[in-house]
Structure formats: structure tokens, C-alpha cells
Structure 1
Amino acid sequence: MRRRSRNISVFTISALDLFAAALGAFILIVLVLFPYYKMGGTDTSMEELEELVEKRRLVASSTQSEMAQIRAIQAEVRLLDRQYRTTAENMSEVEAKILEVQAQTAAIEIPEPPPIPKPVPQPDPIPNPPRSSGRGVEFSILGVGTSKKDVMIVVDMSGSMRAHTNNVVSALEEILGQMQTDNRFSILGYRGGPSYSVYPPGGQLARASAGEVNGALAFVRRLPGDFGGGTPTQNALVRALNIKPGAIILISDGQPDDGNPGDIVQNITRRNRGRTEIHTVAIGDYTSDPALTMFLQELANNNRGDFVGRAR
């Protein structure tokens, strides 16, 4: 009988032995090192480590943000640099064009301007000529002619009239000397305030009898003693129009001071409505005062009257 041969696998047994030995060694190492595990680190050390890691992460994030800002600033600087270069190029082109225009302008020949003619001196305004008494007017005096029988004389008594005292008195005497017995007249002197000196005393129109004319002459010669103050011409004309004479003769040497001259002309003309002739006499050197001349001319022209000047 034959004996069976047995083949024992040495490799398999050796591998098991190796694994068992390794496991035993690992268990032994663990048992030896286990007491030292906690000595190698604590929970607190882990927290500190995590905190340090978080700080470094924040620093890294902040650094990235700052780097992004730096990159944005760099981009803006590059943009400004391009804009500056573009502006510089445009300025160079503009300067070149300016130089070209200047060169072209310098080449243009400008003719000499023609001589300016000297202004032709204008003659002084010439007063309207006196109306002829042969043309149906009631009287003609100082260049003023009227067919009205009721005449009111309005006299400026402002302070400036003192320089023309003799002229004023002689003009009034001349007017009174032309009165006829069928005329009626009144004299209204005015000055600042306004205040008035009137003849006859009631201020109404009086028959031009010899006695009334003589009384008026005496009144006229006393009148310069009361000269003074301003020139409220508008108020005096309103008062005169209220008497409703056929004609008013205004004697003055200056512009009114109780309103704008143009407005006064309009106001008096509107109030008068063409019922009363308003004649004006400029006393003194009226040609040197265009505003006075214009006021008196417009007042007379708008109210069917004449304007004259009496220099002396």
C-alpha cells in the first residue's frame, strides 16, 4: 500500500505568522504610546491653531482686497495717463491751428480807416416867432399870441428866479400893458411847499380895469421879495386849470420838481382836454437847459399853445 504524500503550504503559514506578529507589534506600540497621546497636544492648542489659521485667512483676504484696490488704482492711473496724452495731442493741434490763423491774419492787409467827420455844430433852438396881432389874436406879447380874453399868468417863484428878477418883472409888466378893458386876468405865483401868491387876492379872474391893472403892477413889483424854494409846477398848473381860464401863460426858468416832466405833460394834457391854451415862456439862459426847453415845448404843443424864450 502506497503512502500518500502530504504537501504542507509553508507560504500560507508564514503569512499568517507575519500578520499576527505585525498586529501584535501595533497593539504593543499603541499600549506603549497611549499615555503620551494627550501630552502631544490639547484642545486649547487646536483652538489656537484654528484661530491662527483664521487670522491668516483674514490677512490673506485683506491682502487680496488691497491688491484689488491697487490694481484698480493702477488701471485708473493708466486711463488718466491716456486721457492726458490725448488732451496734450489735442492742445498741440489747437496751438498749431492758432499759429496758422495768426499767420494768415498777419498776411491780411487792413486798410486805413476813413477819417471821422467832425460833428456839425447844431444851432441853438430858435423860439417860435410871435404871432401877428393882425391875424385876429387878442394880444401878442413875448412872442405869445392868443385870441382868448380870459388869461391867467402862472409865475415860477423858486429861488433860482432871483437871478432873473428884472427879466421876470419886465415880462409881467409887458403882459399887463397889453390888457384891454374887455380882458379878464389873474396872476398865480408859486414856490416850494407848494405855497402861492395870487392877484387879485381871491385868486379869481378880474376885469382888466385901470385900477386892477395898477394893482397888479404893484403886486408884480413886490413879487421878487418872496422868491425862494422849489418848483412845484404841476400843482400850480392844476390850480390854474381849476379857475378855467381861456389861456394860461407859464413863466419858469427850471424843470418842475413835483414829478417827472414827461408825466406832468401827460397829466396836465389829460386833465385839460384841450379846453385851455397853455403857453410857456422860458426865462434866462434856457438854451443851456435842453430838458427845460423840451418840457415847456411839449407842454405848449400838447395844449394848443406857443413856446418862447426870454433871455433878457
Structure 2
Amino acid sequence: MRSRRRNITVFSISALDLFAAALGAFILIVLVLFPYYKLGGTDTSMEELEEMVEKRRLVASSTQSEMAEIRAIQAEIRLLDRQYRTTEENMSEVEAKIREVQQQTAEIEIPDPPPIPKPVPEPDPIPNPPRSTGRGVEFSILGIGTSRKDVMIVVDMSGSMRSHTGNVVSALEEILGQMQSDNRFAILGYRGGPSYSVYPPGGSLTRATPGEVRGALRFVQGLPRQFGGGTPTQSALVRALNVQPGAVILISDGQPDDGDPGNIVTNITRRNRGRTEIHTVAIGDYTSDPQLTLFLQELANNNRGDFVGRAR
């Protein structure tokens, strides 16, 4: 029996349809995605991206440097703040110590002075100037009268006194012109610090001989060149009382700045205990400063002294 002959087909029609359909789908996908291919970037876009990344790295590096500088500045600010706080604390301690020393100084009691022997009059070739007898006292000047022979002249040399240079010099010359050979005197100028200018050198009382009076007048002429600073009146009065004069004449144009004026009057009065007369002279336009007038009046009234004003 003769065998049948079979025809073998590699591709069937169905397979061809499948391949055709797949090819069509591929072409369709390519056509759909083709516009996005250009948007996906090229080699140039990659270079731009790398350049952008490099710029961002540089910006980040610069930002880190700036942040480091900011941190260094912040550290310096913290250090300065600590130093400021330390300085402020030290200043507070110094101020507290100054107040304590001032209080202790005000509370120091001066022992009663020993009797002063009556000075032997020296021959004086220059006639003594006449003394005012209107108030029955031996010494009268600027409206101030006293029988005390030993006089300490305390002069405010603060910066504001520059406006009254002529007035101050003329007042001092007038006081010195009333000195006689049986008087003893000294001049104590004071300004901020406190610092002092004294005549005679050393600040002790000296006899009012013609030579000493001439020396004092030269000293007075040089005082205005030293005017400046504050008004430590309390310290100057304490220094003057330590010399133990019979009378103090205080010349000033302003309120003290080394303590409350009322407390200064109380401290000086308690320290003085009536031993020394304290006379006060207000220089300049004192009527425009009622606090100055009240301070000088109370200081004089509480210490057996007179208060006068000298406007010019």
C-alpha cells in the first residue's frame, strides 16, 4: 500500500497574522513615543546637567564657608558677651566698694584738736587792710563774717566753672586781700577723680605773711587752666575738715556728684560736730538752680556758717 505524501508548512496563516499584528503594534508604539525621544535629552543636555550639578556643588561649598564664618562670628560674640558681663560684674563690685569706702569715710570721727598756741605776730611792712565791723566780727568778706583766724578756702574746679573764671579769681583775690598776719590759711581746689590742687604744697595751714599771700595769688591765677571734670564736693570737705581749720569757705557753682546732696549735708555735719564753721558761696546764676541753693544753704546753716551768692 502506498503511503500518503504529507505537505509540511512552516508558517501558517495564523502565525503570519500574529507577526504582522506585533509589527504593527511596535510601529505604533514607536510613532507614539517618538516625540518624547527628543524631550528625553541629548548629550548637550547631559553636559548642562553636569554643569548645573557643579554649580550647585560650588554654591554648597560657598554656603558651608559662609556658615563657618557665621559660626566663628557667633563664637566671638559669645566671648565678647562673657567679657562684657565679667567687666560689668567687676564694675559693680568696684562701685560697691567705693560706696562702702565713702560711707566709712563719712563715719570716721575726727578727734577734738589740741589747743592751738596763739601765734606770735610778725612784723608786716605792708599795712593790714581794714576789716569790716558791720557785724561785730574780725573777718568779713563776700558777705561772710567770722571771728576764726584759721581759714580753709575750698574751690570747685569742675568743668562748669570755666564759665565763671573771672568771678572765681576775683572772689579768691578778695578773700586773700583781707588776710592779716595773725591769720592762717590754705586753698584746696578740687575736681573729678577726685584730684586736688593745694596751696601751700602739702595743704596745711600757713601764716598769712606778705610772701605767702603773694604766692597764693599766683596760685589762684593758675587755677582756671586746671578746671575740668566732676564735682566731688563731699570728698573735698572731708579733706578740708581733716586739716582742722577754724572756718571753711566753700565756693561752687553746682551740685556735688559724689553722693546725694541731703546725705552729704548729714554726713559732713555729723563728722564736723560743730567744730568748724562752714560758709558757702554760690557762683554764677545760682538762682536758676534751686537744688544747689538748698544744698549750700543747709550745709552752712547746719554748721554755723553763712550762705551768700555771687552772680558776677
Distance 1:132 1:139 in 2: 7
Cα distance per residue 1:60-118 (max 9 Å; x no partner): xxxxxxxxxxxxxxxxxxxxxxxxxxxxxxxxxxxxxxxxxxxxxxxxxxxxxxxxxxx
Indicate the residue corresponding to 2:252 in structure 1. 252
Indicate the residue corresponding to 2:281 in structure 1. 281
Specify the code of the residue in structure 2 equivalent to 1:306. D
1:164 is paired with a residue whose SS is helix
Percent identity of the aligned residues? 86
- How many angstroms does 1:138 deviate by? 2.0
Cα distance per residue 1:136-170 (max 9 Å; x no partner): 31211111111000000000000000000000000
Is 1:230 the equivalent of 2:230?
yes
Cα distance per residue 1:11-43 (max 9 Å; x no partner): xxxxxxxxxxxxxxxxxxxxxxxxxxxxxxxxx
Distance 1:215 1:138 in 2: 24
Distance 1:294 1:245 in 2: 24
Specify the code of the residue in structure 2 equivalent to 1:169. V
Indicate the residue corresponding to 2:310 in structure 1. 310
**Highest CA radius of gyration, 1 or 2?**
1
Report 1:53-132 matches (<5 A): none
1:189 is paired with a residue whose SS is strand
Is 1:269 the equivalent of 2:257?
no
1:133 is paired with a residue whose SS is coil
Distance 2:246 2:191 in 1: 24
Report 1:132-143 matches (<5 A): 133-143=133-143
Distance 2:133 2:220 in 1: 25
Cα distance per residue 1:37-56 (max 9 Å; x no partner): xxxxxxxxxxxxxxxxxxxx
Indicate the residue corresponding to 1:21 in structure 2. none
Indicate the residue corresponding to 1:162 in structure 2. 162
Distance 1:163 1:137 in 2: 33
> How many pairs were matched up?
182
Asked if 2 retains the 8 angstrom alpha-carbon contact of 1:190 and 1:231, the reply is: yes
1:304 is paired with a residue whose SS is coil
1:267 is paired with a residue whose SS is helix
Distance 1:179 1:283 in 2: 21
Superposition TM-score, scaled by structure 1 size: 0.58
Distance 2:145 2:241 in 1: 19
- How many angstroms does 1:135 deviate by? 3.8
Indicate the residue corresponding to 1:240 in structure 2. 240
Distance 1:200 1:287 in 2: 33
- How many angstroms does 1:233 deviate by? 0.1
Indicate the residue corresponding to 1:200 in structure 2. 200
Asked if 2 retains the 8 angstrom alpha-carbon contact of 1:133 and 1:145, the reply is: no
- Give the gaps of 5 or more residues in structure 2: 1-130
Indicate the residue corresponding to 1:173 in structure 2. 173
Indicate the residue corresponding to 1:214 in structure 2. 214
Specify the code of the residue in structure 1 equivalent to 2:284. G
C-alpha RMSD of matched pairs (Å): 1.1
Asked if 1 retains the 8 angstrom alpha-carbon contact of 2:135 and 2:145, the reply is: no
1:262 is paired with a residue whose SS is helix
- How many angstroms does 1:232 deviate by? 0.1
Distance 1:184 1:136 in 2: 20
Distance 2:166 2:134 in 1: 30
1:263 is paired with a residue whose SS is helix
Distance 1:235 1:208 in 2: 26
Distance 2:203 2:301 in 1: 26
Distance 1:145 1:135 in 2: 7
Asked if 1 retains the 8 angstrom alpha-carbon contact of 2:132 and 2:138, the reply is: no
Distance 1:149 1:293 in 2: 27
